């Protein structure tokens, strides 16, 4: 219905912007994530920390949120920089041995129609990164990387540390 009202040119611009934001790799959400944390922690430092410091709260208690924030940012960095388990011509034979083919969703010898690598069981092609990833879970825009077999542990720690850093 809206396409009848909105000019075609504007629709094209909006479509390209949405595609760029949500269907290609972009550091925009990582930057937004860090900016939001900086804003929250800036507010905490300005409003709460200084006040609690004057009330002579124990130093460790005052520093705890910053330590949790550092842990969270460390997990974010590790998760976003780590190889999620990209399938290459040199590792696909070894990765094909890890999980059994079910013969339904995953058949032995199937090639990825997009990148042409042989697909091990439980792998999937990521359209953001244009690679096949071993034990693919999803592509996370907040860490700007796929979540797969090799970085899932960092993603889990990132998820666990996020509410801890927020709650502190
Ligand atoms: Zn592929
Ligand atoms: Zn991806």
pLDDT of residue 52: 85
Task: Give per-residue pLDDT as tens, 135-147.
Answer: 999 999 999 999 9
pLDDT of residue 22: 81
How far apart (Å, rounded) are the C-alpha atoms in residues 47 and 53? 11
How far apart (Å, rounded) are the C-alpha atoms in residues 130 and 149? 17
Q: Domain for residue 84, yes or no? A: yes
Q: Domain for residue 81, yes or no? A: yes
Q: How many residues does the chain have?
A: 168
Q: Domain for residue 1, yes or no? A: no
pLDDT of residue 39: 92
Q: Domain for residue 15, yes or no? A: no
Note residues around ion ligand 2 (Cβ under 5 angstroms).
126, 128-129, 139, 146
Task: Give per-residue pLDDT as tens, 95-109.
Answer: 999 999 998 989 998
Split into its structural domains, the chain has a count of: 1
Expressed in angstroms and rounded, the spacing between residue 143 Cα and the centre of ligand 2 is 10
How far apart (Å, rounded) are the C-alpha atoms in residues 111 and 114? 9
Residues of the chain with pLDDT under 50: none
Expressed in angstroms and rounded, the spacing between residue 24 Cα and the centre of ligand 1 is 15
Q: Domain for residue 44, yes or no? A: yes
Q: Domain for residue 10, yes or no? A: no
- Just list the catalytic residues: 140
Q: Domain for residue 154, yes or no? A: yes
State the residue range of the domain holding 163.
28-167
Expressed in angstroms and rounded, the spacing between residue 146 Cα and the centre of ligand 2 is 4
HSE-CB of 109 using CA atoms within 13 angstroms:
0
Q: Domain for residue 8, yes or no? A: no
Expressed in angstroms and rounded, the spacing between residue 82 Cα and the centre of ligand 2 is 12
């Amino acid at each position: 219905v809206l396409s009848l009202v909105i000019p075609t040119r504007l629709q094209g611009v909006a479509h390209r912007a949405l595609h760029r934001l949500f269907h290609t790799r972009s550091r925009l959400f990582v930057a937004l994530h860090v900016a939001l944390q900086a804003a929250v922690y800036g507010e905490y430092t300005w409003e709460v920390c200084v006040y609690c410091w004057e009330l002579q709260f124990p130093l460790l208690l005052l520093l705890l949120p910053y330590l949790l924030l550092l842990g969270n940012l460390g997990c974010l960095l590790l998760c976003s920089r780590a190889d999620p388990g990209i399938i290459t011509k040199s590792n696909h034979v070894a990765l094909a041995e890890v999980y059994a083919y079910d013969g339904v969703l995953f058949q032995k010898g199937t090639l990825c129609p997009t990148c042409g690598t042989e697909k091990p069981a439980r792998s999937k092609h990521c359209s953001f990164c244009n690679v096949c990833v071993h034990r693919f879970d999803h592509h996370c825009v907040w860490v700007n990387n796929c979540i797969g077999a090799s970085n899932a542990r960092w993603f889990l720690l990132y998820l666990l540390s996020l509410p801890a850093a927020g709650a502190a």
